[in-house]
């Protein structure tokens, strides 16, 4: 019998999975990564096809999904707005109906979350959020896997978010609510997280600080992101002024715990949201974080397509 989950699941937000499912995924990501490092072939997705739809640029998301799918024995179709009918106003609903009759799983990077949701509502196969204006769940999946590898369980820990109240920040809040840690948030005025967009019920999972130094105090992990996310480029100059004090530097790392890690989803702008000393320094785990996108997403695709193994 062909294996498969009894109920199709999408991964559109971090809160689409439960804590015990994350525990399972982190275990699977570890097993899959270990096999990969040992050059052991693992191909549970032979004959499965992933369609990747990119309406925004990408390096890590594309390479990690594409390489990961091939390594698991499957194949990949890569579409962009410029080379598909999506760029010529074919509705997301129609695209979903067509694409999902031909492939087994879809990853989408787009602007509004509502486009992803419309696509998923008309898809016959699982849909994964590869970044929207609102959320970036695959990144946080990899980030927490990376934290666990370096420091163990994230439950009860403090994550400092320094910078924009953006898709990454929203997703960190969702993760904190589900996995039981706290996010200390410091954003410039006017760039706060919108709790309604973040969609968290448990207000205890985050605390707001005016100054980024306060947010970093005692943190187990300090993390940030670009000042201007994709799609907001028109605000670039205004943001450069507003964010000037939200640059993670040695002073901020010095008030965090001595064993604090630094993470950044990348791409990074040294001298803007983070100094070169911090991102290239001993507390930074950004390269593990980037690599772990692939291992974590292989575990995610395996789970969405095959359910629990064993
Ligand atoms: N972090 C991340 O999603 O990187 P890309 O934009 O390169 O995919
Ligand atoms: N917040 C950034 C993340 C890039 C991976 C953006 O949306 O552009």
Decide if 1 is inside a domain.
Answer: no
36 part of a folded domain: yes
To the query of whether residue 240 is one of the catalytic residues in this protein, the response is no
Cβ of 265 less than 6 Å from ligand 2: yes
The whole-chain average pLDDT of the chain stands at 96
pLDDT at 7: 83
For residue 52, the enclosing domain spans: 14-136+292-306
The pick from 110, 131, 288 for probing ligand 1's pocket by mutation, whose C-beta has the most ligand atoms within 8 angstroms, reads 131
Three-state secondary-structure class, residue 80: strand
Q: Which ligand is nearest to the CA of 290?
A: 1
Whole-angstrom CA distances from 259 to 11, 68, 144, 221, 251 are 32, 31, 16, 9, 14
Task: Tell me, yes or no, whether 131 and 143 share the same domain.
Answer: no
Q: Are residues 158 and 29 in the same domain?
A: no
With 0-12 / 13-18 / 19 or more C-beta atoms within 10 angstroms meaning exposed / middle / buried, residue 162 is buried
**Is residue 182 situated within a structural domain?**
yes
Residue 43 annotated in active site: no
147 and 279 housed in the same domain = yes
CA dist., res. 44 & res. 144, Å (int) = 24
Could you tell me if 130 and 211 lie in one domain?
no
**What is the whole-number distance in angstroms between the Cα of residue 39 and the centre of ligand 2?**
32
Ligand 1 pocket test, pick from 65, 107, 266, 293 with the greatest ligand atom count within 8 Å of Cβ, gives: 266
* 116/206 same-domain check: no
Average pLDDT of the residues in 85-113: 97
The strand pairing partners of 127, in sequence order, are 106
Residue 196 lies in a domain: yes
Q: What is the pTM of this model?
A: 0.97
Structural domain contains residue 7: no
3-state secondary structure of 67: helix
Q: Cα angle vertex 130, ends 34, 99, to 5°? A: 105
In CATH, what number is assigned to the domain containing residue 199? 3.40.50.1370
How far apart, in Å, are the Cα atoms of 240 and each of 209, 244, 282?
A: 20, 6, 27
Number of domains present in the structure of the chain: 2
Q: Active site residue: 10, 62, 293, 295, which one?
A: 293
| 130/214 same-domain check | no
Do residue 229 and residue 172 come from a single domain?
Answer: yes
Whose tokens are 């000393």? That residue is 277
My answer on whether 81 and 151 are in the same domain is: no
- Give the residue, by CA position, lying nearest to ligand 1 atom 4: 60
pLDDT category, 6, cuts 50, 70, 90?
Answer: low
Residue pair 212/252 in contact by the 8 Å Cβ criterion: yes
Pocket flag, ligand 2, residue 226 (CB < 6 Å): yes
- Let me know whether 163 and 249 are in one domain: yes
In a domain, 24, yes or no: yes
d(CA 78, CA 66): 9
Q: What is the pLDDT of residues 33-54, one digit of tens each?
A: 999 999 999 999 999 999 999 9
Site of tokens 């959020």: 129
3-state secondary structure of 137: helix
pLDDT at 2: 47
Could you tell me if residue 123 is inside a domain?
yes
122 within a domain of the structure (yes/no): yes
Taking the C-alpha atoms of residue 283 and residue 302, their distance in angstroms, rounded to an integer, is 32
d(CA 25, CA 297): 9
Distance in angstroms (rounded) separating the CA atoms of residues 252 and 218 = 10
The percent of residues above 90 in pLDDT, for the chain, comes to 96
- 212 in helix, strand or coil? helix
Catalytic residue of the set 225, 257, 283, 297: 225
Q: What is the DSSP string of 159-179?
A: EEEES--SHHHHHHHHHHHHH
Averaged pLDDT for residues 103-132: 98
- Same domain, yes or no: 69 and 98: yes
* pLDDT tops 60 at residue 91: yes
Same structural domain, 229 and 254: yes
Which residue has its alpha carbon closest to ligand 1 atom 3?
A: 61
Question: Number of C-alpha atoms within 13 angstroms, CB side, residue 174?
Answer: 27
- Give the pLDDT score at 145: 99
The model's pLDDT over 232-280, given as tens digits with 9 standing for 90+, comes to 999 999 999 999 999 999 999 999 999 999 999 999 999 999 999 999 9
* Residue 207, H or E segment: strand 206-208
Query: Residues 275, 144: one domain?
Result: yes
Contact 293, 256 (CB under 8 A): no
Which ligand 1 atom sits nearest the alpha carbon of residue 56? 6
> Does the pLDDT at position 203 exceed 90?
no
């Amino acid at each position: 019998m062909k294996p498969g989950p009894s109920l199709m699941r999408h991964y559109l937000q971090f809160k689409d999975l439960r804590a015990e499912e994350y525990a399972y995924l982190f275990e699977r990501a570890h097993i899959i990564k270990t096999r990969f490092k040992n050059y052991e072939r693992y191909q549970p997705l032979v004959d499965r096809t992933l369609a990747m739809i990119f309406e925004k640029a990408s390096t890590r998301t594309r390479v990690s999904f594409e390489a990961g799918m091939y390594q698991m024995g499957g194949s990949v179709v890569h579409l962009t707005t410029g080379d598909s009918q999506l760029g010529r106003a074919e509705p997301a609903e129609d695209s979903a109906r067509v694409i999902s009759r031909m492939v087994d799983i879809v990853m989408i990077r787009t602007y509004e979350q509502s486009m992803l949701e419309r696509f998923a509502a008309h898809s016959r196969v699982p849909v994964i959020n590869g970044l929207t204006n609102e959320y970036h769940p695959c990144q946080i999946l990899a980030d927490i896997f990376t934290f666990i590898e370096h420091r163990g369980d994230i439950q009860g820990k403090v994550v400092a978010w320094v910078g924009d109240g953006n898709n990454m920040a929203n997703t960190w809040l969702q993760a904190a609510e589900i996995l039981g840690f706290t996010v200390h948030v410091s954003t410039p005025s006017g760039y706060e997280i919108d709790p309604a967009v973040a969609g968290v019920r448990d207000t205890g999972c985050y605390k707001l600080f005016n100054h980024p130094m306060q947010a970093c105090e005692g943190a187990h992990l300090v993390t940030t992101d670009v000042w201007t996310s994709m799609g907001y480029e028109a605000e670039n100059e205004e943001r450069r002024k507003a964010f000037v004090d939200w640059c993670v530097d040695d002073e901020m790392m010095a008030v965090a715990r001595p064993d604090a890690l630094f993470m950044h989803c990348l791409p990074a702008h040294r001298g803007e949201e983070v100094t070169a000393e911090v991102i290239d320094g001993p507390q930074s785990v950004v390269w593990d974080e980037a690599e772990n996108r692939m291992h974590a997403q292989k575990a995610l695709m395996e789970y969405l397509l095959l359910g629990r193994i064993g």
